[in-house]
């Protein structure tokens, strides 16, 4: 019996040690899980910041594209203006060239015509002045066209330069965007790893929790077994398990009181000389008070019965037991196990029939309990 108790004790100790280890290990995993989630929170903030930068860059790229498209339209309009001016310049140069050629090749003839056509000397000079004015006007017009053409060509160059700068800015923005996208992909990769690690940690914690629960259950079972064994040992050795007078500790219901009743088996009115206390088969029955066992055996309809004479002269009777754990002549203490609940003799189920007798006459036990 001692060997069994020792084995159960060792099992409890091992189970407790394993539980403490599992608890420490689970705490470590919980700490790692907290650190993991903090790191994920930091990464989420960094990814959010990169997303904001990417959105801003994409907005700037879109703005650059709009600016480039606008510059393209202005360049096309400027080219059209240049083309139109070139056409006018070409027409005026051609007309002026023809006039100059006619004047240069036929200067003397032109001069004679001017003289012949002149009605006077003043008219002659006036005609010469008119010819000169026409030529000078053509030259001024050509000069203005050249100036306009030069200005427009300068504008075209400026527009082209702006377009080049916008293209360069767009390329720089796209390069920055690619770098940020790369950083974001790296952070998301780290986040994925942390998420997997989080899942693994949660799985491990759940596993440890299940193991700890199983160990606790085993520990409880071992402890219950030990308690049961101790209780059995106590019951078998007649140990004191109660400090009160009540003969069935833990079971206080009285199913049949002291006095007249209809007998459950004989089915007739008879005087019930004690009280019946129902309890499960094998429940310990304890001594009402200190005393000496004066009877232990089978007693007619009472079945397995034990009687104890107490130091104050009272005699108590315990009937219908399944087992008797005290013998005639044994000295017993108040609350000591003397029998076990049963249903022997004239009985309809497991219970204790308990009597108190004074000077050989039964009395109501409830007056003394």
How deeply is 227 buried, as exposed, middle or buried, from its count of CB atoms within 10 A (0-12, 13-18, 19+)? Answer: exposed
Residue 139 scores a pLDDT above 50: yes
Residues 266, 267, 268, 271, Cα dihedral to 10°:
70
Residue 92 forms part of a structural domain: yes
Are residues 297 and 172 both part of a single domain? Answer: no
Same domain, 210 and 91: yes
Helix (H, G, I), strand (E, B) or coil at 310: strand
Select the highest-mean-pLDDT range: 6-10, 122-126, 271-275.
Answer: 271-275
Give how many domains the chain has, as a whole number. Answer: 2
264: domain CATH number?
Answer: 2.70.70.10
Taking Cα atoms as reference points, which of 85, 68, 331 lies closest to residue 174?
68
The larger pLDDT score, comparing residue 337 to residue 165, is at: 337
* Same domain assignment for residues 278 and 169: no
pLDDT at 241: 82
The alpha carbon of residue 310 and the mean position of all alpha carbons in its chain are separated, in whole angstroms, by 68
Do 74 and 127 reside in the same domain of the chain? Answer: yes
- Structural domain that includes position 105: 2-215
Q: What share of the chain is helix, strand, coil (3-state, %, to 5)?
A: 65, 15, 20
CB of 255 closer than 8 Å to CB of 277: yes
Structure tokens at 224: 């219950």
- Average pLDDT of 151-176? 82
Q: In terms of domains, do 155 and 47 share one?
A: yes
More confident residue, 259 or 176: 259
19/114 same-domain check: yes
Q: Among residues 364, 321, 342, 345, which one has the least CA distance to residue 266? A: 345
- Residue 231 located in a structural domain: no
248, burial (CB in 10 Å: exposed 0-12, middle 13-18, buried 19+): buried
User: Is 195 within the bounds of a domain?
Assistant: yes
Q: What is the pTM of this model?
A: 0.40
Q: Give yes or no: residues 324 and 190 share one domain.
A: no
Are residues 206 and 62 part of one domain? yes
Q: Is 48 exposed, middle or buried (0-12, 13-18, 19+ CB in 10 A)?
A: exposed
Q: Which residues lie across from 296 on neighbouring strands?
A: 306
Q: Can you tell me the distance from the alpha carbon of 329 to that of 339, in angstroms, rounded to the nearest whole number? A: 15
Q: What span, in angstroms and rounded, lies between the C-alpha atoms of 241 and 247?
A: 11
SS3 120: coil
């Amino acid at each position: 019996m001692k060997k069994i108790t020792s084995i159960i004790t060792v099992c409890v100790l091992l189970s407790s040690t394993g539980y403490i280890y599992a608890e420490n290990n689970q705490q470590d995993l919980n700490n790692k899980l907290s650190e993991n989630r903090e790191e994920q929170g930091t990464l989420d903030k960094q990814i959010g910041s990169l997303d904001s930068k990417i959105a801003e860059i994409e907005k700037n790229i879109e703005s650059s594209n709009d600016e480039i498209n606008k510059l393209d339209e202005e360049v096309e309009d400027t080219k059209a203006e240049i083309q139109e001016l070139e056409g006018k310049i070409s027409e005026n140069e051609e007309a002026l060239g023809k006039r100059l050629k006619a004047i240069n090749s036929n200067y003397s003839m032109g001069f004679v015509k001017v003289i012949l056509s002149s009605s006077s000397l003043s008219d002659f000079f006036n005609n010469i002045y008119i010819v000169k004015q026409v030529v000078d006007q053509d030259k001024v017009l050509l000069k203005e066209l050249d100036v306009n053409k030069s200005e427009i060509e300068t504008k075209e160059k400026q527009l082209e330069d702006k377009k080049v700068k916008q293209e360069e800015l767009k390329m720089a923005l796209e390069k920055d965007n690619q770098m940020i996208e790369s950083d974001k992909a790296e952070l998301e990769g780290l986040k994925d790893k942390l998420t997997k690690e989080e899942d693994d940690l949660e799985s491990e914690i759940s596993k440890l929790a299940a193991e700890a629960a199983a160990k606790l259950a085993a520990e409880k079972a071992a402890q219950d077994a030990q308690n049961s064994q101790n209780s059995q040992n106590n019951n078998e050795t007649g140990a004191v398990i109660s400090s009160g007078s009540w003969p069935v500790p833990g079971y206080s219901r009285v199913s049949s009181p002291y006095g007249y009743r209809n007998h459950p088996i004989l089915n007739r009115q008879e005087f019930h000389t004690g009280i019946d206390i129902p309890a499960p088969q094998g429940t310990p029955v304890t001594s009402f008070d200190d005393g000496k066992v004066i009877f232990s055996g089978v007693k007619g309809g009472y079945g397995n019965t034990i009687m104890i004479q107490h130091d104050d002269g009272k005699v108590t009777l315990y009937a219908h037991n399944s087992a008797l754990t005290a013998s005639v002549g044994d000295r017993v203490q108040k609350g000591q196990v003397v029998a076990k609940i049963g249903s022997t003799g004239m009985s309809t189920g497991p219970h204790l029939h308990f009597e108190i007798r004074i000077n050989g006459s039964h009395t109501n036990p409830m007056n003394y309990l």
